[in-house]
Amino acid sequence: MLTAVPPVELPEIGAASGAASLAWLLFVLPALGALVLFVTGRRANAWGHWLGVATVLASFAIGLAIFFETLGLSPEQRTRELHLFDWMSVGSFTVDFGVRLDPLSLTFVLLITGVGSLIHIYSVGYMAPHAGGDGDDDHAEPGGDSSRRRFFAQLNLFVAAMLVLVLGNNFVLLYLGWEGVGLASYLLIGFYQDRPSAATAAKKAFLMNRVGDVGLAIAIFLLWLELGTVQYSEVFERIGEVGAPTLVAITVMLLLGACGKSGQFPLQAWLPDAMEGPTPVSALIHAATMVTAGVYLIARSGPIYNLTETGRLVVTLVGVVTLLIGAIIGCAYDDIKKVLAYSTVSQIGYMFLAVGLGPAGYALGIFHLLTHGFFKAGLFLGAGSVMHAMNDDVDMRRYGGLARHMPITFVTFGLGYLALIGFPLLSGYFSKDAIIEAAFGQEGWQGWVYGGAATLAAGLTAFYMTRLVLMTFFGEKRWQNLKSADGHDYHPHESPVTMTAPMIVLAIGSVGAGAILSGIGLTEWLAPSLGELRESEHGVLPHAVIPWLVVGISALGVLIAYLVVGRRPTPVERPERVSLPVRAARRDLYANAINETFIARPGTWLSRALVFVDNRGVDGVVNGTAALLGGSSGRLRRFQTGFVRSYALSMLGGSVLVIAAMLAVRFA
């Protein structure tokens, strides 16, 4: 269905009033929280984490108030803007600091502050200084344990930046938030500063994000160059004036930005490494919110993508490639967080596939984003709880039989797992199947390729997630005869209530979100922002068949996982003699090797060549001149012999020459 899309009606923009006029507090509160926690320093160690929780909860309350106020308006009035101040004004270039409140941004506000609040609460327990977990004595800083305060300051900074990203009413404000979440992500990945691997992972994430950010910046430059504005409302109104080649360039550059932030092919390699950060960070930033910013960007830029099928085709292909890559690699890892990370990569691939389908998929992408936000955050928190119990070990081969020791974690994790693999009537079933249906709804080869890849990946998802659950919660208790890296025995235990309560809430969300959101009509709610959902009638498969197919393939994945992992004992040592595909998947399908070979090494060569040119060429000219002068002076000074009579001779000779020359001129 990649033909020209009829233009989507742009909504009228009203002025914000009532609760909406407080929208600026949404991001100002967490920003203030971050500021206070950064500035007050050690004095805030005792109460800082509660301040962090309070600011995010307050934001959530304001977000709910605005949401319910907006629900009371008719759909045409639901897009409102709140002008705060003129941010920049240079010549004809002006940027407002304005808030855009519409169904799309409000949906994100609720997701960010809602899941954010839960994860803040969880972190109070997880990062507690002396209760084990990641915040234990190993990471104590000199001068008291202020790591938890620092953690909450950075987490608040993240929430503030993410809210600026989704609330801004122009691309430059989006870019501000975009860079802000990048900074917070960098700080939090590298949170355990004493681990070299964390520092490296943080740098890697920052650099790969930079590649994407350059793309986003170029897209914004192009928009300004063509239209002279960066305001969403004006850009979307006049985007039709832009010529086709420029339009494709803009969409591809936007996509590059989205790929960087969302860990999509070809910039996916940073996301699994980002798991070096504390687990709540993985849950909030690298699963539920920040990495979905790319999906937000593309959905928000829908009016631009609607005009170019090439742009949408590229988005879809990136999504298809990524969801397969993520699912394949997820099958091979033994690190519980990395499996979940590749699962995230794969699920965001589904969302990219959906938003790449244009008006047939924007709302579905956002739908999956929301349900994924619930169950993946829940899964990460569950993984954090397991690590908490297992002395921070992440190797699933050392787990086993944990279900009885941590029942709450097991049940909540299990519900998240069922939601992710699309167990009927849980949330993943609604959102993922809708995407697969829309993918099969395309005509010709596209329907088969998109739908086939998405179905295959659904089966792989079922496989790797079942493998993860079996290795962690069932089977032999392999940890009984082992000691952890720091030489302690394992004493698995259930986590404190600050950790289990958010897990329970998220598990309820994982179960119910899909049914509730599709029941109350998420797509109609989003229509003022994303346009009406257009279902295609010319799909390659009839609608009735697809859910059965997907559930069947997923069940097959579960069955294979049970036969391969569940029925056999799992060796504690990782088998090295494995088949070629497994070896490739263990090495991230050679993504790092490819980056190394094609980007990093040519870059090194280029720098070396430049250094050579600089040393030998530029410096060569300067140094050569100096050496020439120095050398010739060295020779010339040999004339200064100290013999007065030779000086006299040269003076005489010189005088004779001058006179001879004068005479020659005179008489010639």
Shortest spacing between CB 610 and another protein, in angstroms: 42
Q: Tell me the CA distances in angstroms from 465 to 99, 451, 455, 459, one per residue in order.
A: 40, 21, 15, 10
Binds another protein by CB under 8 A, chosen from 143, 243, 642, 667:
642
Q: Cβ closer to another protein: 91 or 642?
A: 642
CB of 288 closer than 8 Å to CB of 111: yes
Q: Cβ closer to another protein: 638 or 666?
A: 638
Instruction: Count interface residues toward another protein (CB under 8 A).
Output: 11
Binds another protein by CB under 8 A, chosen from 488, 577, 638, 666:
638
Q: Tell me the CA distances in angstroms from 325 to 25, 303, 337, 343, 584, one per residue in order.
A: 40, 29, 17, 10, 11
Q: Cβ closer to another protein: 425 or 651?
A: 651
Q: Contact region for another protein (CB under 8 A) — 159-167, 488-496, 546-554, 638-646?
A: 638-646
By CB under 8 A, the residues from 474 to 513 that bind another protein are none
By CB under 8 A, the residues from 349 to 388 that bind another protein are none
Shortest spacing between CB 664 and another protein, in angstroms: 20
CB of 388 closer than 8 Å to CB of 132: yes
Shortest spacing between CB 598 and another protein, in angstroms: 59
Q: How far apart are the C-alpha atoms of 447 and 348, rounded to whole Å?
A: 19
State in Å, rounded, how far the first CA of the chain is from the last one: 96
- B/e letters for 540-563, b = 16+ CB within 10 Å, e = fewer, are bbeeeebbebbbebbeebbebbee
Binds another protein by CB under 8 A, chosen from 497, 609, 648, 662:
648
Q: How far apart are the C-alpha atoms of 319 and 454, rounded to whole Å?
A: 10
Q: Contact region for another protein (CB under 8 A) — 83-91, 236-244, 285-293, 648-656?
A: 648-656
By CB under 8 A, the residues from 608 to 637 that bind another protein are 637
Binds another protein by CB under 8 A, chosen from 577, 643, 665, 668:
643
Q: Cβ closer to another protein: 72 or 642?
A: 642
| β-bridge partners, 93 | 90
**Which stretches does DSSP call E strand in 344-441?**
none
Shortest spacing between CB 665 and another protein, in angstroms: 21
Shortest spacing between CB 602 and another protein, in angstroms: 52
Residue 645 interacts with another protein (CB under 8 A): yes or no: yes
Q: Cβ closer to another protein: 39 or 652?
A: 652
Q: Which tokens in the block code for residue 197?
A: 């691997």
Q: Tell me the CA distances in angstroms from 607 to 599, 601, 613, one per residue in order.
A: 12, 10, 10
Q: Which tokens in the block code for residue 88?
A: 């920049």
Q: Cβ closer to another protein: 548 or 639?
A: 639
Binds another protein by CB under 8 A, chosen from 497, 599, 627, 652:
652
Residue 243: Cβ-neighbour burial (10 angstroms; 0-12, 13-18, 19+): exposed
Binds another protein by CB under 8 A, chosen from 640, 664, 666, 668:
640
- Residues near another protein, by CB under 8 A: 637-638, 640-645, 648-649, 652
